[in-house]
C-alpha cells in the first residue's frame, strides 16, 4: 500500500533525530516519508470540521539554504527516495495550507514552543489540537533517535483504544515485529476485554500476532509502564472525555506520555484505521 | 431501509470518498450515528425527487448484474447434438440433407428451413476448413432450439466441399445455436480442437461416441475460456 | 416512556438533521447578533479613541501617531495573533469556496484589534472588512461548535458577514446583499432567509446600543430628472477614480512586498507618510465617517482645488496604510473618495453651468459613493442598497442605478476582476459554486480512480498474455517488475493490436519488449485540472495513476465525465 507520512523538517540536530525517527518508522512499516521544509513560520491544516493553524517556533526556519541538502542526506542514509512536499494553496500569502491527505504525521512533542523547553510530560498545544482533529495517527517521537523492535498497545477498552489496537495490529503485520497488549483493569474484568475484541472481530488477528496480553490491577499502573520494553513503539488512543479532559487529552494519556520515553503513536478521536 | 456509505457508494457508482465528501459538504441527507453515517433510502428518494436529481437509484435486489454468459463446454454441446455415422450423400447439398434428417434434436417442422439456410451459407462461402472437415452452420440464430448443440456427422463417402485446401470432406460439425454469443464461443472452441493434428487423425480413425467426447474433454481443458 | 423518547428522537431528526431550516435560522440570528456586537464594539471604541486623540492632532509630532498605530497593529498581527496581513475578505471567500467556510477562531477577534489600532491612530482604512472577517469567523465557529456541515457552515458565515455589515452601517439590506453578492456568490433560497434574519438582527443590535445614529442619518434630497445627464458624467469620473484607486492600492502593496524591509520598518514608513499627509489634509485620516457626514449634509467647507487634491491624497493615504502594514478595509475609504469625487463634480458643474438647476452637493456626494463602491468592488447591488438605506429614501434611486451600473460596467471593462477577487483569480482560487474550476477542485483523483486492474509481470511471455486477454475485459494492463512490484509501463490493447493478430509473435517476445514505457502518468497528488490538461495536450483518453512507483489505478475521461456531471448536479441543485 501507499502509506505516506508527513514530516515537518526542522533543520537542527534535534530535528535530525526526529527525522531519523520518521525515516525508521517508514522503513519498518513500508511507508513513504514526505518531508515539508517550512518557508513560513506558520501553516494551516484544514480538517473536516476545523482549521488548525500551527505556529512553528523559529528553529524550524534555521538556515533555509542547507535544509534541503540535510534532509536529502538523511534520506540517503536510510536508503529512501527523497520526497518533498510543496504546499499548493495559500490561505494568505504567508500562510500555506498543508494537505491532510496523509496517513501519518510525525511531530516532536511540541512544534510551537522552543525545543529547549521541551522535556517529557509536555505536549505542545498545537500538537494536541492536531491529535484532536486529525483523521490520521500521529507519531510523537522521543527526543533522541532510537530504533524500536517491538510494539506495545495500551488497550483500555474505549472506542479509541480499539482503533489503537487495530493500528497496532496493522503495524505488527507490516513490520513483522511482536505485539504486546497492556490493559489496566479499571472497572471490568479480563473476560470483558476479551469479549470486546471478539465482538469487533479482532480476536483472531490478536491471537495470531500477539503472544502476550498483560493485565494489571489499577494500582499497578506504574508497574505496567515500567514493564513496557524500552525499545518498543507505544500505540495508544487519545481518549478525551468531557471538555476539560478533552483539552488535556485525558489524564491517562497524559500520565503515560509523561512517564515513558518511548515513541508514541497516537490515534485521535477522529482517526479512522482500517485493517 | 438504511444504507451505509459503502452501500450507497455501490448504488450510485461513486467512490466512498465522494459520498463522505458530499456528506461533509451537506449535499446528502444523512443520519449520523456516532462516527458512522447512515442513509435512509426513503429520505434519499424524497430528497432526490424534491431537487430533481437523478440518482440512478436501484433497490438492492434489482441491481443490474453484469451479465455473465453461462458457457457450455464443447463436450456438452456435442453430447446435446449427438454423433451420427454412415451419412449418405454425393455432394454438399445431399450430404447436408441426409445429416439434417438424422439429427434428432431438430424439430421436424424446421428441418427444411434449416437446410435452406445451411445451403445458402455454403453458397456464400464454404465452411470446409480443410483437412477433410467442415463446420456447416446457419448465419441466423435458431430460436426454436432450447440448448446449443454441436452434431458430428461422419460421411460414408468424402464429398467435394469446395474446401480451402481442396480436400474432400468426410466429417461435418453442425453448430446450431439459439443465440449468437454461444455460437461464437462454440465455433472458437471447435476450431481450437481442430487445430490439433492429433485430433484430426483421431477423427479420421473413425472413433466411437464415448471416445470422441473424452477426447474433446481432454483438449478443452488446455484451452481455458 | 420509550415511545416519547422515540417521538422526540424522530422530531429532532426531522427538525434539525434532515431539514435544517429552523436550525439555520436560529444559529444564523445568533451569528448575526454576535457579529453585530463585534461591529458595534469596534465602532464605539474607534469613536472614543478618535475623540481622545483629537486634541493632539494639532501638535507637530502628531504625524507619528498613525506610525505608532500601524506598528502596533502589524506587530500584533505578526507576532501575537500570527495572522497574515491584508484585509481578510479574500481569505473568507477562499475559505468559503475551498474549505466549506472553515475559519480559525482567532480570526474572529484579531482583525478587530489590529484595525482598531490602525484606524484609531489615524490610519486611512475602513472598519468594514475587519468586521466582515470577524463576523464570518464568528459564524464559522458557531457552526463548528454545533458540528454542522459545509453547506450550513457557509450559510452561517454569510449570516455573520451580513450581521456585521448591517450593524456597522445600520443597513440590514446592504448587509444581506453584500454577504450574498460578495462572500457567497450564490443566491439560494436556503441561504437568503437565515442571512436576512441575521442582517436584521445585526442592525437591531446596533440600533439598540447606539439609538442615536448620528452618521448617515436620513436627509431629504431633491433629485430631479435634470440630474440624470450629469450623473452620467459623474459615473464615468467615478469609474476612472475607482480604477485608479484599485491600481494604486495594488501597486503600493507590491512595492512594499518587494522592499526587503522588516515589517516594523514598513509600518513606520507607511504610518508616518499617512500622518504627514494628514497634517495638511485631516480629511484623509481614519475611517472618515464624519467627513462623509458633512459632505452629505452639504456643510463641507473645502475649496474645489483642495477637494481635487483630497481625492488623490485619500487614495494615496489608503494605499500607504493598507499596503505598508496597517490593517483594515477599503469600504470606508471608498465612501470617502466617492463623496469627495461627487462633491468635486458638483463644484465643477456649478462653475461650468452656473444656471443649471441640479440637486444639492450632498446628493452628488451620495452618487459618487455609489459610483466608487460599485466600481471598486464591482458589486452594484451592494452599492445601490447601501446608499438607499443610508439615505433612508428612494428619491435618488434612479440616478443611483444609473451611476452604479455605468461605473461598475466601465471599471469591469478596464479591470475585469474586482478588488476583492483579483488576488484569488490570480492564484486560480476563485471557485464560485457551480463553476468548472470549483467542480474540478472538489473532485480529486482519489475519487475518480478506477481500480481492480489485473497487473502483469514484465517477464510474461506474450502467448501467456494473449490467453489472459481472452478472459479479460481490460483495455489497459499495467506491467510491473517481478520482485519489487514496481510499475514499469502499460500495455494498451489499441497499440499492441498488430502483434496480437500475429501468432508468430506469441512465443518471441516478452511483455517488457512491447509495453509502453513513455506513457505519461498521474499521481494522487495531482489536481484534476492538471491531469485533464496533460490528457488534452497528449490526446489521451486514459492515464495510469502511479504513486511511489506503484500502479494505483487508471483515470479515464469517461469516468471523469460521469462524475463531473453528478458533481455539477449536486452543486447547482437548490438544496
**How near does any CA of chain B get to the CA of C273, in Å?**
47
pLDDT band at residue C139 using 50, 70 and 90 as cut-offs: very high
Residue that has been written with the C-alpha cell 501507499 in this structure? A2
Between CA C134 and CA C164 the distance in angstroms is 8
**How near does any CA of chain B get to the CA of A106, in Å?**
24
C102 and C204 inside one domain? yes
Tell me the residues of chain B between 10 and 39 that have a Cβ less than 8 Å away from chain C: 12-15, 17-18, 21-27, 29-32
**How near does any CA of chain A get to the CA of B6, in Å?**
14
**How near does any CA of chain B get to the CA of C426, in Å?**
26
Q: If you ran DSSP here, which 8-state letter would residue A265 be given?
A: E
Cβ-Cβ contacts under 8 Å between B and C: the total is 58
C248 and C351 inside one domain? yes
Number of domains in chain C: 3
| Tally of CA atoms within 13 A in the half-sphere of C401 that contains its CB | 4
For A152-165, give the DSSP string: EEE--SSHHHHHHH
Between CA B202 and CA B200 the distance in angstroms is 5
Closest of C113, C174, C101 to residue C142, by C-alpha? C101
- Model pTM score: 0.81
- C-alpha dihedral, A182 to A188 to A189 to A191, nearest 10°: -90
Residues 6+ apart with CB under 8 A from C244: C315
Angle among Cα C25, C29, C31 to the nearest 5 degrees reads 115
Q: What is the mean pLDDT of residues C130-147?
A: 89
Instruction: Please name the residue of chain B whose CA is at the shortest distance from the CA of residue C560.
Output: B14
User: Between chains, do C17 and B31 touch, taking CB under 8 Å as contact?
Assistant: yes
Mean pLDDT of chain C: 83
Residues 6+ apart with CB under 8 A from C263: C74, C75, C78, C325
Residues 6+ apart with CB under 8 A from A96: A39, A40, A43, A44, A87, A89, A90
Instruction: Please name the residue of chain A whose CA is at the shortest distance from the CA of residue B23.
Output: A48
**Which stretch of DSSP H or E encloses residue A70?**
helix A64-77
Closest of C89, C95, C351, C366 to residue C220, by C-alpha? C366
Residues 6+ apart with CB under 8 A from A243: none
Closest of B124, B143, B223 to residue B183, by C-alpha? B143
C90 and C31 inside one domain? yes
Structural domain for C444, as ranges: 440-572
Closest of B27, B9, B8 to residue C568, by C-alpha? B27
Does the residue C220 lie in any domain? no
- Lowest mean pLDDT of A114-118, C61-65, C186-190, C454-458, name the range: A114-118
Catalytic residue of the set B51, B90, B137, B197: B137
- The 10 Å Cβ neighbour count of residue C413 is 10
Residue that has been written with the C-alpha cell 447606539 in this structure? C210
Instruction: Locate C229 and state its grid cell.
Output: 445627464
pLDDT band at residue C32 using 50, 70 and 90 as cut-offs: very high
C445 and C421 inside one domain? no
Decide if pLDDT at C160 tops 90.
Answer: yes
- Domain end marker among C376, C397, C429: C429
Which chain A residues contact residue B24 at CB under 8 A?
A: 48
Tell me the residues of chain B between 46 and 65 that have a Cβ less than 8 Å away from chain C: 51-54
Residues 6+ apart with CB under 8 A from B64: B58
C388 and C300 inside one domain? yes
User: Between chains, do A48 and B35 touch, taking CB under 8 Å as contact?
Assistant: no
Which chain A residues contact residue C527 at CB under 8 A?
A: 88
* Nearest Cβ partner for C102 among A46, A88, A93: A46
Between CA C334 and CA C248 the distance in angstroms is 13
Q: What is the mean pLDDT of residues C488-499?
A: 84
Residues 6+ apart with CB under 8 A from C112: C38, C41, C42, C130, C131, C134
CB A26 within 8 A of CB A80: yes
Between CA C320 and CA C331 the distance in angstroms is 16
CATH number at residue C551: 3.10.580.10
Between CA A256 and CA B139 the distance in angstroms is 80
Is residue C287 less than 8 Å (CB to CB) from chain A?
no
Instruction: Locate B61 and state its grid cell.
Output: 435486489
Decide if pLDDT at C575 tops 80.
Answer: no
Cβ-Cβ contacts under 8 Å between A and B: the total is 5
Decide if pLDDT at C254 tops 90.
Answer: no
- Lowest mean pLDDT of A23-27, B43-47, B64-68, C60-64, name the range: B64-68
Between CA B112 and CA B103 the distance in angstroms is 13
Does the residue C84 lie in any domain? yes
Q: Note whether A4-140 and A150-267 share their fold.
A: yes
Tell me the residues of chain A between 24 and 53 that have a Cβ less than 8 Å away from chain C: 32, 41-42, 44, 46, 49-51, 53
What are the pLDDT digits (tens) for B86-137? 888 888 888 888 888 888 878 888 888 888 888 888 888 888 887 888 888 8
Indicate the burial class of C90 (C-beta count within 10 angstroms; 0-12, 13-18, 19 or more).
buried
Residue spans of the domains in chain A: they are 4-140, 150-267
What are the pLDDT digits (tens) for C513-560? 888 888 888 888 888 888 999 989 988 888 899 888 888 889 988 888
Asked if B137 is an active-site residue, the reply is yes
Residue A150 phi, psi dihedral angles, 5° rounding: -150, 175
Strand order in the sheet with C487-492: C456-457, C476-480, C487-492
**How near does any CA of chain B get to the CA of A165, in Å?**
18
Closest of A143, A163, A165, A146 to residue A154, by C-alpha? A165
* Nearest Cβ partner for B24 among A48, A159, A272: A48
User: Between chains, do B24 and A272 touch, taking CB under 8 Å as contact?
Assistant: no
Which chain B residues contact residue A270 at CB under 8 A?
A: 35
Between CA C498 and CA C215 the distance in angstroms is 83
Q: Pick out chain A residues at pLDDT < 50.
A: 120, 241-249
Decide if pLDDT at C148 tops 50.
Answer: yes
Helices C419-426 and C228-258 cross at an angle (nearest 10°) of 40
Is residue C429 less than 8 Å (CB to CB) from chain A?
yes
Angle among Cα C518, C523, C529 to the nearest 5 degrees reads 100
C177 and C263 inside one domain? no
C171 and C92 inside one domain? yes
Indicate the burial class of A6 (C-beta count within 10 angstroms; 0-12, 13-18, 19 or more).
buried
pLDDT at residue number C1: 59
Is residue C82 less than 8 Å (CB to CB) from chain A?
yes
Residue that has been written with the C-alpha cell 517556533 in this structure? A57
Instruction: Locate C147 and state its grid cell.
Output: 458540528
Which residue would you say has higher pLDDT here, C494 or C86? C494
Indicate the burial class of C329 (C-beta count within 10 angstroms; 0-12, 13-18, 19 or more).
buried
* Nearest Cβ partner for B53 among C149, C563, C573: C573
Measured between alpha carbons, how far is residue C168 from residues B7, C50, C178, C202 in Å? 50, 17, 13, 9
Does the residue C274 lie in any domain? yes
Between CA A136 and CA A100 the distance in angstroms is 9
Closest of C123, C491, C496 to residue C287, by C-alpha? C123
**Which stretch of DSSP H or E encloses residue B58?**
none
| Residue of A47, A48, A240 to mutate for B, most B C-beta atoms under 10 A | A48
Q: What residues in chain C have their Cβ under 8 A from chain B's Cβ atoms?
A: 13, 17-18, 100, 148-152, 442-444, 446-449, 467, 470-471, 562-563, 566, 569-571, 573-575
What are the pLDDT digits (tens) for C339-357? 888 888 888 888 887 776 6
* Nearest Cβ partner for C471 among B12, B29, B225: B225
User: Between chains, do B18 and C100 touch, taking CB under 8 Å as contact?
Assistant: no
Does the residue C435 lie in any domain? no
Q: What percent of chain B is predicted at pLDDT more than 70?
A: 89
Measured between alpha carbons, how far is residue C214 from residues B207, C210, C252, C550 in Å? 114, 9, 34, 69
Residue that has been written with the C-alpha cell 493478430 in this structure? C501
C303 and C403 inside one domain? yes
CB B103 within 8 A of CB B145: no
- Alpha-helical regions (H) of C54-171: 64-75, 89-98, 107-120, 128-146, 150-169
Does the residue C352 lie in any domain? yes
pLDDT at residue number B27: 80
pLDDT at residue number A246: 46
Residues 6+ apart with CB under 8 A from B144: B107, B110, B178
pLDDT at residue number A229: 86
C14 and C143 inside one domain? yes
Does the residue C471 lie in any domain? yes
Residue B88 phi, psi dihedral angles, 5° rounding: -85, 160
Instruction: Please name the residue of chain A whose CA is at the shortest distance from the CA of residue B35.
Output: A270
Length, in residues, of chain A: 275
What are the pLDDT digits (tens) for B148-202? 888 888 888 888 877 777 788 888 888 888 877 788 888 888 888 888 888 888 8
> Looking at chain C, which subunits does it touch, using at least 3 CB pairs closer than 8 Å as the criterion?
A, B
CB A96 within 8 A of CB A87: yes
Q: What residues in chain A have their Cβ under 8 A from chain B's Cβ atoms?
A: 48, 159, 270, 272
| Tally of CA atoms within 13 A in the half-sphere of C98 that contains its CB | 24
- Domain end marker among C369, C397, C429: C429
Q: What is the mean pLDDT of residues C184-199?
A: 87
CATH of A150-267, one of 3.40.50.620, 1.10.520.10, 3.40.1010.10, 3.30.365.10: 3.40.50.620
Between CA C38 and CA C48 the distance in angstroms is 16
Decide if pLDDT at C197 tops 90.
Answer: yes
pLDDT at residue number C86: 66
Strand partners, C522: C545
Q: What is the mean pLDDT of residues C277-296?
A: 78
What are the pLDDT digits (tens) for B67-96? 555 677 888 888 888 888 888 888 888 888
Instruction: Locate B118 and state its grid cell.
Output: 445451411
Decide if pLDDT at C5 tops 80.
Answer: no
C352 and C463 inside one domain? no
Instruction: Locate C38 and state its grid cell.
Output: 463585534
CB C393 within 8 A of CB C257: no
The CATH T-level fold of domain A4-140 is Rossmann fold (3.40.50)
Between CA B1 and CA C14 the distance in angstroms is 17
| Residue of B2, B11, B15 to mutate for C, most C C-beta atoms under 10 A | B15
Instruction: Locate A96 and state its grid cell.
Output: 500555506
User: Between chains, do B24 and C570 touch, taking CB under 8 Å as contact?
Assistant: no
Does the residue C263 lie in any domain? yes
Amino acid at each position: 500500500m501507499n502509506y505516506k507520512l508527513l514530516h515537518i523538517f526542522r533543520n537542527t540536530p534535534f530535528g535530525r533525530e526526529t527525522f531519523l525517527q520518521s525515516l525508521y518508522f517508514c522503513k519498518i512499516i513500508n511507508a513513504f516519508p514526505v518531508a515539508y521544509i517550512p518557508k513560513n513560520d506558520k501553516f494551516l491544516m484544514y480538517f473536516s470540521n476545523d482549521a488548525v493553524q500551527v505556529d512553528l517556533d523559529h528553529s524550524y526556519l534555521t538556515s533555509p539554504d542547507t535544509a534541503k541538502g540535510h534532509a536529502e542526506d538523511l534520506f540517503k542514509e536510510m536508503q529512501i527516495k527523497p520526497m518533498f512536499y510543496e504546499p499548493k494553496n495559500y490561505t494568505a500569502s504567508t500562510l500555506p495550507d498543508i494537505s491532510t491527505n496523509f496517513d501519518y504525521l510525525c511531530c516532536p512533542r511540541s512544534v510551537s514552543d522552543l525545543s529547549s523547553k521541551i522535556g517529557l510530560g509536555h505536549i505542545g498545544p498545537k500538537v494536541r489540537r492536531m491529535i484532536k482533529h486529525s483523521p490520521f495517527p500521529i507519531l510523537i517521537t522521543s527526543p533522541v533517535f532510537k530504533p524500536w523492535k517491538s510494539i506495545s498497545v495500551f488497550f483500555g477498552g474505549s472506542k479509541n483504544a480499539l482503533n489503537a489496537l487495530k493500528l497496532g495490529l496493522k503495524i505488527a503485520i507490516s513490520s513483522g515485529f511482536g505485539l504486546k497488549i497492556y490493559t489496566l483493569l479499571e472497572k471490568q474484568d479480563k473476560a470483558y476485554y476479551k469479549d470486546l475484541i471478539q465482538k469487533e472481530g479482532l480476536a483472531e488477528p490478536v491471537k495470531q500476532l500477539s503472544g502476550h496480553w498483560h493485565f494489571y490491577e489499577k494500582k499497578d499502573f506504574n508497574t505496567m509502564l515500567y514493564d513496557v520494553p524500552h525499545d518498543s513503539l507505544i500505540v495508544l488512543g487519545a481518549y478525551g472525555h468531557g471538555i476539560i479532559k478533552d483539552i488535556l487529552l485525558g489524564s491517562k494519556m497524559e500520565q503515560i506520555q509523561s512517564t515513558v520515553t518511548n515513541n508514541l503513536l497516537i490515534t485521535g478521536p477522529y482517526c479512522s484505521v482500517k485493517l | 431501509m438504511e444504507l451505509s456509505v459503502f452501500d450507497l457508494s455501490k448504488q450510485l457508482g461513486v467512490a466512498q470518498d465522494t459520498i463522505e465528501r458530499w456528506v461533509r459538504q451537506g449535499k446528502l441527507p444523512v443520519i449520523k450515528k456516532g462516527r458512522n453515517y447512515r442513509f435512509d433510502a426513503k429520505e434519499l428518494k424524497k430528497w432526490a425527487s424534491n431537487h430533481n436529481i437523478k440518482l440512478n437509484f436501484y433497490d438492492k435486489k434489482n441491481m443490474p448484474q453484469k451479465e455473465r454468459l453461462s458457457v457450455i463446454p464443447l463436450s456438452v454441446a456435442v453430447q446435446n447434438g449427438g454423433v451420427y455415422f454412415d451419412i449418405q450423400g454425393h455432394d454438399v447439398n445431399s450430404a447436408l440433407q441426409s445429416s439434417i434428417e438424422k439429427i434428432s434434436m431438430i424439430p421436424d417442422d424446421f428441418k427444411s428451413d434449416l437446410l435452406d439456410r445451411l445451403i445458402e451459407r455454403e453458397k456464400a462461402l464454404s465452411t470446409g476448413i480443410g483437412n477433410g472437415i467442415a463446420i456447416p452452420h446457419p448465419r441466423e440464430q435458431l430460436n426454436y432450439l432450447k440448448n446449443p448443440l454441436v452434431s458430428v456427422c461422419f460421411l460414408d463417402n468424402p464429398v467435394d466441399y469446395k474446401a480451402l485446401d481442396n480436400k474432400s470432406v468426410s466429417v461435418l460439425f453442425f453448430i446450431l445455436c439459439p443465440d449468437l454469443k454461444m455460437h461464437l464461443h462454440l465455433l472458437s472452441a471447435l476450431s481450437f480442437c481442430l487445430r490439433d493434428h492429433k485430433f484430426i487423425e483421431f477423427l479420421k480413425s473413425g472413433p466411437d461416441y464415448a471416445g470422441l467426447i473424452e477426447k474433446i474433454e481432454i483438449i478443452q481443458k488446455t484451452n481455458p475460456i | 416512556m420509550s415511545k416519547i423518547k422515540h417521538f422526540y428522537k424522530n422530531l429532532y431528526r426531522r427538525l434539525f438533521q434532515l431539514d435544517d431550516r429552523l436550525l439555520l435560522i436560529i444559529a444564523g440570528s445568533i451569528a448575526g447578533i454576535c457579529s453585530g456586537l463585534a461591529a458595534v464594539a469596534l465602532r464605539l471604541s474607534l469613536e472614543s479613541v478618535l475623540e481622545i486623540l483629537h486634541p493632539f492632532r494639532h501638535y507637530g509630532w502628531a504625524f507619528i501617531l498613525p506610525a505608532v498605530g500601524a506598528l502596533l497593529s502589524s506587530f500584533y498581527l505578526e507576532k501575537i495573533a500570527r495572522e497574515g496581513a491584508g484585509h481578510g475578505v479574500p481569505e473568507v471567500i477562499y475559505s468559503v469556496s475551498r474549505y466549506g467556510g472553515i475559519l480559525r477562531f482567532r480570526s474572529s477577534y484579531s482583525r478587530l484589534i489590529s484595525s482598531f489600532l490602525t484606524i484609531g491612530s489615524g490610519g486611512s482604512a475602513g472598519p468594514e472588512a475587519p468586521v466582515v472577517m470577524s463576523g464570518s469567523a464568528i459564524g464559522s465557529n458557531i457552526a463548528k461548535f454545533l458540528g454542522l456541515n459545509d453547506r450550513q457552515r457557509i450559510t452561517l458565515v454569510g449570516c455573520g458577514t451580513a450581521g456585521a455589515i448591517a450593524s456597522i452601517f445600520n443597513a440590514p439590506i446592504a448587509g444581506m446583499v453584500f454577504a450574498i453578492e460578495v462572500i457567497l456568490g450564490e443566491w439560494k433560497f436556503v441561504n437568503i432567509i437565515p442571512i436576512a434574519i441575521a442582517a436584521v438582527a445585526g442592525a437591531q443590535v446596533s440600533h439598540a446600543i447606539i439609538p442615536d445614529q448620528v452618521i448617515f442619518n436620513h436627509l431629504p434630497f431633491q433629485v430631479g430628472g435634470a440630474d440624470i445627464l450629469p450623473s452620467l458624467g459623474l459615473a464615468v469620473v467615478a469609474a476612472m477614480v475607482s480604477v485608479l484607486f484599485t491600481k494604486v492600492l495594488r501597486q503600493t502593496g507590491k512595492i512594499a512586498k518587494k522592499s526587503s524591509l522588516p515589517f516594523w520598518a514598513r509600518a513606520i514608513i507607511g504610518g508616518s507618510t499617512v500622518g504627514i499627509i494628514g497634517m495638511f489634509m485631516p480629511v484623509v485620516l481614519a475611517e472618515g465617517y464624519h467627513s462623509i457626514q458633512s459632505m452629505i449634509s452639504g456643510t463641507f467647507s473645502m475649496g474645489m482645488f483642495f477637494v481635487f487634491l483630497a481625492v488623490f491624497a485619500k487614495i494615496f493615504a489608503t494605499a500607504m496604510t493598507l499596503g505598508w502594514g496597517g490593517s483594515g478595509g477599503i469600504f470606508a475609504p471608498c465612501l470617502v473618495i466617492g463623496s469627495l469625487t461627487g462633491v468635486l463634480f458638483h463644484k465643477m458643474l456649478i462653475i461650468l453651468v452656473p444656471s443649471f438647476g441640479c440637486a444639492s452637493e450632498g446628493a452628488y456626494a451620495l452618487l459618487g459613493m455609489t459610483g466608487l463602491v460599485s466600481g471598486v468592488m464591482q458589486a452594484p447591488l451592494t452599492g445601490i442598497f447601501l446608499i438607499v438605506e443610508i439615505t433612508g429614501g428612494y428619491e435618488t434611486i434612479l440616478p443611483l442605478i444609473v451611476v452604479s451600473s455605468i461605473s461598475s460596467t466601465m471599471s469591469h471593462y478596464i479591470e475585469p476582476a474586482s478588488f476583492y477577487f483579483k488576488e484569488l483569480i490570480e492564484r486560480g482560487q476563485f471557485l464560485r459554486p457551480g463553476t468548472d474550476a470549483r467542480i474540478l477542485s472538489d473532485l480529486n483523483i482519489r475519487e475518480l480512480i478506477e481500480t481492480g486492474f489485473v497487473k502483469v509481470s514484465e517477464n510474461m511471455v506474450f502467448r501467456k498474455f494473449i490467453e489472459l486477454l481472452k478472459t479479460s475485459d481490460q483495455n489497459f494492463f499495467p506491467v510491473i517488475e517481478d520482485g519489487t512490484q514496481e510499475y514499469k509501463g502499460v500495455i494498451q490493447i489499441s497499440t499492441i493490436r498488430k502483434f496480437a493478430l500475429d501468432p508468430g509473435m506469441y512465443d518471441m517476445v516478452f511483455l517488457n519488449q512491447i509495453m509502453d514505457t513513455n506513457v505519461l502518468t498521474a499521481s494522487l497528488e495531482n489536481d484534476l485540472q492538471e491531469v485533464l490538461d496533460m490528457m488534452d495536450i497528449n490526446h489521451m483518453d486514459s492515464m495510469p495513476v502511479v504513486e511511489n512507483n506503484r500502479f494505483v489505478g487508471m483515470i479515464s475521461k469517461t469516468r471523469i465525465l460521469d462524475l463531473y456531471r453528478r458533481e455539477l448536479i449536486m452543486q447547482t441543485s437548490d438544496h
